[in-house]
C-alpha cells in the first residue's frame, strides 16, 4: 500500500492501494459495488491506522448542496460537507445547529458516524440532530432511513460499517447568539465536590488541564439574549476570568481560536473552539478519548 496523505495534524500518514474521489453519485455507486474492501475517508481527524484499507473513497469532489425545509425545521446536506461551512450557510439563512464540536473542520457524515461530541449537559452529541440519512451499501444500492425506523440510531452511529453516507438531514432551529469566557486555575477539590454544578453552569463547558495542581482552563459558553444581556462574570467557582485570549494548550497562540472575553457573536463563531480558517494543530499532538458513565466521573 502507498501513502495517500496525512491526518489534519500532519503526524500520521494514511495508507491504501488506491484513493477514489468520485464526482457523481453514479460513479460512487459503481466504485462501491466493484470494490471488495473499501473505507470512506472523512476529514482526516484521526491519529491511527483504523482508516487504512485496500482502497479508500473520499466524497470531497461530490457536490455538497444544502436543502432547507423550514416547515420541518431541517437541513439536508452532502455527507462530505464540513460543519464550519454548513454553520455559516445556516447562519446566513437565520438558522442554527444545537451543538458543534470544538473543530469546525470535520465532515458531517464522519462526525455523526463516529458519535462526535460537542459540549453541554443538555445538548446531545452531533448524531442526536440527525433526522434522516442516505447511504450507499456494498452492492451500490441507495438506502434512505429516517428517525423512527428500526435500528435508526445504530445506522447513524455506524462507524461506516453499513455503507458510505452521502446525505444527512439535520434538525435546525432559529439562530442565536453566544459568548464565551475562560476562567483559569480551577481547584481540583472544587471540581470534584461540585462537578455537576461546574458542568451545568452554562450551555457548553469544557475543561483543559495538564494534570498539574489545578485545572488550567475552564471554557464557558452561554447563549445571549440580545435584548437583556447579562453582565460578564469576573470569577467562576473560585477562579478568575482570563484577561486575554488563550489557546487550550497555553504555550500556543490563541490567534486561531474563536473570539473570547465575553464578546457576543453568532453560535457558528462561538460554539467551536477554533476558527474554520485556522489550523489548530501544532503537529506534535496525539489525541484519544474515553467515554465513561457520568456517575463515575468523579473519583
- Enter the pTM of the model: 0.93
Instruction: Examine the pLDDT at 16 and tell me if it is beyond 80.
Output: yes
pLDDT grade for 5, boundaries at 50, 70 and 90:
confident
Q: What is the CATH number of the domain that holds 78?
A: 3.30.465.10
Distance CA 8, CA 12 (A): 9
Please report whether residue 263 resides in a domain.
Answer: yes
Domain assignment present for 296: no
Single residue among 141, 174, 207 that ends a domain in this structure = 174
Distance, in Å, from the CA atom of 186 to the CA atom of 189, rounded to the nearest integer, reads 9
269 and 201: one domain? yes
Task: Find the helix or strand (DSSP H, E) in which 32 lies.
Answer: helix 25-34
Q: What is the tens place of the pLDDT at every residue in 140-174?
A: 999 999 999 999 999 999 999 999 999 999 999 99
Q: Is residue 205 over pLDDT 90?
A: yes
Same domain (yes/no): 273, 186:
yes
Please provide the distance, in angstroms rounded to a whole number, between the alpha carbons at the two ends of the chain: 45
In terms of Cα–Cα distance, which of 149, 163, 182 is closest to 257? Answer: 182
Question: Does a structural domain hold residue 247?
Answer: yes
- Same structural domain, 6 and 52: yes
- Residues 203 and 131 placed together within one structural domain of the fold: no
Q: Domain tally for the chain?
A: 3
Instruction: Encode pLDDT of 252-292 as tens digits.
Output: 999 999 999 999 999 999 999 999 988 777 767 777 788 88
DSSP-assigned states of every residue in 222-280:
EEE-TTSPPPPPSEETTEEEPSS---SSTTS-STTBPP-TT--EEGGGTSSSB-TTS--
Instruction: Residue 122: give the domain boundaries.
Output: 66-174
Average pLDDT, the chain: 93
pLDDT higher than 90, residue 128: yes
Q: In Å, how far from its chain's centre is CA 144?
A: 23
Task: Give mean pLDDT, residues 194-216.
Answer: 95
Same domain, 106 and 152: yes
Lookup: cell for 164: 458510505
Q: What is the pLDDT of residues 48-102, one digit of tens each?
A: 888 788 899 999 999 888 999 999 999 999 999 999 999 999 999 999 999 999 9
Mean local confidence (pLDDT), 122-146:
96
User: What percent of the chain stands above pLDDT 70?
Assistant: 99
Question: 230 and 254: one domain?
Answer: yes
Question: Which helix (H) or strand (E) is 14 found in, with range?
Answer: strand 13-20
- Of 118, 141, 174, the residue at which a domain comes to its end is 174
Amino acid at each position: 500500500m502507498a501513502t495517500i496523505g496525512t491526518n489534519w495534524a500532519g503526524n500520521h500518514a494514511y495508507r491504501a492501494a488506491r484513493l477514489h474521489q468520485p464526482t457523481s453519485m453514479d460513479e460512487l455507486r459503481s466504485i462501491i459495488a466493484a470494490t471488495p474492501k473499501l473505507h470512506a475517508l472523512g476529514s482526516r481527524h484521526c491519529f491511527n491506522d483504523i482508516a487504512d484499507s485496500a482502497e479508500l473513497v473520499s466524497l470531497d469532489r461530490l457536490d455538497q448542496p444544502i436543502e432547507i425545509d423550514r416547515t420541518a425545521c431541517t437541513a439536508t446536506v452532502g455527507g462530505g460537507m464540513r460543519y464550519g461551512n454548513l454553520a455559516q450557510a445556516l447562519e446566513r439563512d437565520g438558522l442554527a445547529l444545537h451543538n458543534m464540536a470544538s473543530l469546525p473542520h470535520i465532515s458531517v457524515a464522519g462526525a455523526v458516524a463516529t458519535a462526535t461530541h460537542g459540549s453541554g449537559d443538555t445538548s446531545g452529541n452531533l448524531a442526536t440532530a440527525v433526522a434522516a440519512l442516505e447511504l450507499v451499501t456494498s452492492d451500490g444500492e441507495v438506502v434512505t432511513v429516517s428517525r423512527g425506523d428500526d435500528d435508526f440510531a445504530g445506522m447513524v452511529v455506524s462507524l461506516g460499517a453499513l455503507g458510505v453516507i452521502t446525505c444527512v438531514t439535520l434538525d435546525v432551529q432559529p439562530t442565536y447568539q453566544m459568548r464565551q469566557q475562560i476562567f483559569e486555575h480551577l481547584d481540583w477539590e472544587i471540581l470534584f465536590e461540585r462537578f455537576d454544578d461546574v458542568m451545568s453552569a452554562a450551555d457548553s463547558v469544557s475543561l483543559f488541564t495538564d494534570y498539574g495542581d489545578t485545572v488550567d482552563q475552564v471554557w464557558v459558553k452561554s447563549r445571549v439574549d440580545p435584548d437583556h444581556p447579562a453582565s460578564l462574570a469576573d470569577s467562576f467557582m473560585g477562579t478568575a476570568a482570563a484577561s486575554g485570549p488563550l489557546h487550550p494548550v497555553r504555550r500556543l497562540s490563541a490567534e486561531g481560536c474563536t473570539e473570547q472575553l465575553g464578546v457576543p457573536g453568532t453560535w457558528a463563531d462561538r460554539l467551536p473552539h477554533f476558527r474554520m480558517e485556522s489550523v489548530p494543530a501544532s503537529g506534535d499532538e496525539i489525541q484519544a478519548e474515553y467515554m465513561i458513565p457520568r456517575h463515575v466521573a468523579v473519583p
